[in-house]
Chains A and B, each alone.
Chain A
């Protein structure tokens, strides 16, 4: 019961934030709406029992990445966006596309193939605790995990090389 109430509150906040993100014309307002979306997504993960994913969503997306966004917007002092031809095209093309997408999602949810029992899962039954994720990462998915960390290392080194180019 409480889960359901919280789900609808935060789902509504999430969608409202996403719409506000598109409607606002100032980059800072859009960035802040995106933070609201990230935060309410984290609450939805928490409601599903995926504690670790929820915390990481807050720390990495709402905390680290969006701070950089806001930082850059502040540093460049970006002003309000102007409506151009491209934005008009996006409005006329985007709204019908959203309608089609929503219709597709509703259709696929209501006409799900397979038995109904398989589609529902107890909250927290999918194993989202920190221990579960760590066990999976360091046993079954060890190679992809390590390869990803090497990829991130390469990206960091690339950033350092690009930043130091001015020295020579």
Chain B
């Protein structure tokens, strides 16, 4: 048992540090790419290609004055950014990055919550997908409480928008995954990937979940409050939305939460639709051991690139358009996807 606790702790430490590094450099990538899209250079001064910019930003956030405005609800004002960042970091726990890793005589799954290894197969909790959806639904509280406890009308409007938007799009998000779950007959992310390794990726010949994927992608943009669905922080109308009153490290926490959520959402899209760590393997054993992780990271990077691309090119929705789109277009599409997938599956089995 002690062995298990030590391994789990080590894994959590490593994964969370890699995730935070990824978050910092996603911010850098976004500034660089959006800069190029808008015909500017983005950060260039700190380090080669501005590569040290995230570190400079981190130092800046720590050194800035941490303001707590009067008349805020003190406890919740501090709790809200913590909740946002904790929920965002927790969801990475169930995500598998690869199959197995052998260090000496020890072999363990590349996943924080992986179970014991038996016969070369890694055990996995059988509610991975549900746990992810649950944590996503809890992530609303960080934003909702931030806006309410700030005691400012811009913040409150931002957080009301955020709650309504996230609750509405969560439905489509959850339902868009049902097609994949029906195909694989499992809620374990590991088993879903293993099925795709045998039968092909779910987006292509593994099940043609193209409709489900697009519903998931759009709903995921809304869940992470990114353009074109960033109404909770629409700066032209709400100053900065739910984090108007936040400064220094507390503001940085919301920022970190947003980008960590982007990474998680991209990982889930990779695992459920694009075969996870599946990809061609070649070369000497050490390269073969590292290639699955490389494929996984490459696919996640692709999704983050699309995220930033969309941010650089699309305008923001109007609020009523956002709600109508979520309920009248995405939700029926997600349900249609379930019906079609179910129909095809039952026809094929009979």
Contact = CB atoms under 8 A, between A and B. Distances in A.
Interface bin, chain B: 20 to 34
Contacts of A129: 126
Contacts of A130: 126-127, 130, 187
B223 to A, nearest CB: 12
Contacts of B164: 71
Q: Interface SS of chain B: helix, strand, loop or mixed?
A: helix
A71 B147 CA distance: 11
Interface string A33-55: 00100000000000000011011
Given A64-B167, A71-B163, A74-B144, A58 B126 contact: no
Query: Chain A's interface: helix, strand, loop or mixed, by majority?
Result: helix
Contacts, number: 73
A79 to B, nearest CB: 12
B131 interface: yes
Contact of B167 (A32, A51, A67): A67
Contacts of B73: 28
B210 interface: no
**A: contact size bracket:** 20 to 34
Interface of A: 1-2, 28, 32, 35, 51-52, 54-56, 58-59, 62-64, 67-68, 70-71, 74-75, 129-130
Interface of B: 1, 73, 76, 125-127, 130-131, 133-138, 140-141, 144-145, 147-148, 156, 159-160, 163-164, 167, 170, 187
29 contacts: A2-B1, A28-B73, A32-B141, A35-B141, A51-B125, A51-B126, A51-B127, A55-B131, A56-B130, A58-B135, A58-B138, A59-B137, A62-B137, A62-B138, A63-B136, A63-B138, A63-B140, A63-B170, A67-B141, A67-B144, A70-B145, A71-B144, A71-B164, A74-B163, A129-B126, A130-B126, A130-B127, A130-B130, A130-B187
